[in-house]
Copies of this chain bind each other. A is one copy, B any other.
Amino acid sequence: MKFGYFDDNAKEYVITSPKTPLPWINYLGCEDFFSLVSNTCGGYSFYKDAKLLRLTRYRYNNVPGDSNGHYYYIKEGNTIWNPGWMPTKTDLDSYECHHGIGYSIFKGNKNDLAAELTDFVPIGSTCEINKLTMTNHSKEEKHFSIFSYVEFCLWNAMDDMTNFQRNYSIGEVEIHGSAIYHKTEYRERRNHYAVYSVNAPIAGFDTSRDAFLGAYGENSAPDVVVSGSCKNSVASGWAPVGSHQLDVTLAPGESRTYVFVLGYVENLAAEKWVGRPEDGIINRTPAEKLLEKFNTTEKADQALADLKAYWEKLLSHFTVSSKEEKLDRMVNIWHQYQCMVTFNMSRSASYYESGIGRGMGFRDSCQDLLGFVHLIPDRARQRILDIASTQFEDGSAYHQYQPLTKKGNSDIGSGFNDDPLWLIAGTAAYIKETGDYSILDERTPYDNDDSKATDLMEHLRRSFHYTMEHRGPHKLPLIGRADWNDCLNLNCFSTEPGESFQTFGPSEGPNAESVFIAGMFVRYGKDYVEICRHRGMAEEAALAEEAIADMEKTVLDAGWDGEWFLRAYDHYKNKIGSKECEDGKIYIEPQGFCVMAEIGLKEGNCLKAMESVEKYLDTKYGIVLLQPPYHRYHVELGEISSYPPGYKENAGIFCHNNPWISIAETVVGRGNRAWQVYTRTCPAYIEDISEIHRTEPYVYSQMIAGKDAPNFGEAKNSWLTGTAAWTFLNASQYILGIRPDYDGLIVDPCIPSFMDGFTAKRDFRGTTYHIEVENPNHVEKGIASVTVDGNAIEGNLIPVDASKKEVHVKIIMG
């Protein structure tokens, strides 16, 4: 069952019923100001940091669901409705929500009155624009009122939801003309406020929630809207809100457009006030400048056009055209869009991540980078340096860092022993994309201490050596607190509720080892070797090669279970992910990474591992993380066994590592299987089962309930997942096979045999590559011939030629 459709020309998903199984959201903003917006106009805004600078209040896990947003009420006679259905839930004569790239449009009609609401965050400004066009489609003159409504958050979202004995006394506002200023705490240490305005004279306003809603009021029927007349309330404490009243008359066929702006404004400390601070009148000059930028419909339309052009350009760097409409749609639009959102948000603010719990993950951010480095290489470069700056001198790393300060989060600390290797992965991806080795020369601090800075190359060296030197009884890498995905906590041994599995117990034990990290070591160690070679560090390269070879041997000796790769050894040196185990006999992660690392490729281990994944972990909705699920808590394993069977890491379909298997299948050359794995969790391919999948059909979720769960197939935690990056990497670099490498662009497709071929356009180091792939013999992998601008070449590495703006590549598979 579907609740809408893809409009690929507009790059939109069009939702045709407000009653989606869960709220389906979009992200507005790509610089510093962000909004989450659902298909019923729910959501909230923040500036830079969703915890510390939240503009509007949202209530997670609330009843009624998805409550609070940026709402517009239309009151015509006794009928009150919203263009996005919520919160009145008045039945609309027609409804559409268009989630586009960086904007959302809501089209609601009721009694021949049409509302079209366009929400977006313009490039270069710190505000959200809500452009509302009302059209009278009837034959009579229409008189109605519009009431806008936002509820302000008192900036710190955590404090806002806990510290009421203070918060109920601090709310402050100012009103000037049509502009409502939310200035709570501006009197003291804040130098910023919010402004909410409309480009028209207003009939009145409200800024007190209690006044607007009325005693025991609800968003579904605010007192002010029901009565049709605002109260011009001035909030003092309690809950400040912003509401404008506009009284409108429209002749038959007439339209009118209003531009509402919700903005974030900072002042210099010396320029906070008009006159004396004691008088408490805020300096509105920068706000007025901001409002002036969007005070006509034309200006707002131009800002939207600029935003669309910005995205059009970004998404033009990689495009594919095949007979697979859904593949093209995902690769050209939604995979890359989701990658950009994970770049912006990390794991901070979604409808499942409350925006207050986590900083940027070291591991997460490095992986996210794999997905967006081709889109915004300059920002990727900065991100790498930011991440590396939180590394410790011994090569280990803070597991998270704070987006505002960019400093490591000492609450979480270090000890996640896969982290260092991800830095190599991210840096290698950046160099392969850009050819910019100069990043390796950048002076980069440790633990944000400039006095300890070295060049980035040295950071990579320490990353590699940290892993090399922290090994256990089987010479496999020690796992530390945990590797991906934080839930196998082999040194934790927690028995008390509330103890964090990630931080309780020692940061490292002497025994617990990870085969997964071993796979990463081999995989990204090879990148490290190549980078060393390029830097002329032949001795280090040789040393690293030897360590890699040794690790490969170690994995084959101690990390192979007969049919698949082991997952780990626990504190007692017992195997995890072995046929010897009662539960958790086979895990997905080492199969993905050891095969991507080509450990035992020649010996057949890789193919065998892939066959075992198919045999033991496959389901119709994707590959589960392990089997059988843990049925009880294992104190020696930690969080993974804390989940009910089939959920999350305990045998859920963790979307993040499904592409690892798909990529691994391309390593063993099984294009059909790689395709099957790709499509089984790919949003566009499962749009038809939206009533089962429930989350948005245009983006990935973190997890789909596995076959052991009662709700098999139900997804959770949409949007902010490493799946975004990995799946784009998989689709673009391994299935389509267009893969940046150190010295050029590799083209090496591994596609389903039914596919005749495809064409693609790829911008790479200043040149645009037009790539045509033909698959006349319907193979899954293999290259019969490669021509570049009509000339046949050996191999499938298209060398860089900076003199060319355009290059035409033709590949015949076979």
Contacts and interface: CB of A to CB of B under 8 A. Distances in A.
A61 interface: yes
Contacts of A278: 631-632
Contact of A168 (B59, B213, B217, B716): B716
A63 B213 contact: yes
Interface string A661-676: 0000000000000000
A277 interface: yes
A641 interface: yes
Interface string A704-748: 010001110000110000000000000000000000000000000
Contact of A162 (B64, B168, B357, B644): B357
Interface stretch (A224-232, A234-242, A367-375): A234-242
A352 B165 contact: yes
A232 to B, nearest CB: 13
Contacts of A165: 347, 352-353, 702, 716-717
B352 A164 contact: yes
A161 interface: yes
Interface string A54-92: 000001111111011000000000000000000001000
Contact of A497 (B19, B156, B711, B717): B156
Interface in A615-663: 631-633, 641-644, 647-648, 652
Q: State the copy count for this chain.
A: 2
A497 B642 contact: no
A237 B164 contact: no
Contacts of A166: 648
Interface in A315-354: 347, 352-354
A497 B276 CA distance: 21
B498 A217 contact: no
A295 interface: no
A603 interface: no
Contacts of A217: 63-65
Contact of A277 (B89, B163, B632): B632
Contact of A61 (B161, B234, B276): B161
Interface string A410-421: 000000000000
A77 to B, nearest CB: 24
Contacts of A277: 631-633
A346 B60 CA distance: 28
A498 B156 contact: yes
Nearest to A218: B64
Contacts of A703: 169
Contact of A642 (B67, B188, B213, B352): B188
Interface string A156-175: 10100111111111101000
Contacts of A709: 236-237
A219 interface: yes
Contact of A280 (B59, B170, B631): B631
Contact of A643 (B65, B68, B169, B276): B169
A190 B234 contact: no
Given A236-B709, A237-B647, A357-B163, A352 B67 contact: no
A187 interface: yes
A515 B778 CA distance: 90
Nearest to A64: B218
Given A52-B498, A209-B63, A643 B353 contact: no
19 contacts: A19-B216, A59-B63, A63-B68, A63-B219, A155-B497, A161-B354, A162-B357, A165-B352, A168-B352, A169-B644, A170-B642, A170-B643, A170-B647, A187-B633, A188-B497, A189-B494, A236-B644, A277-B632, A279-B631
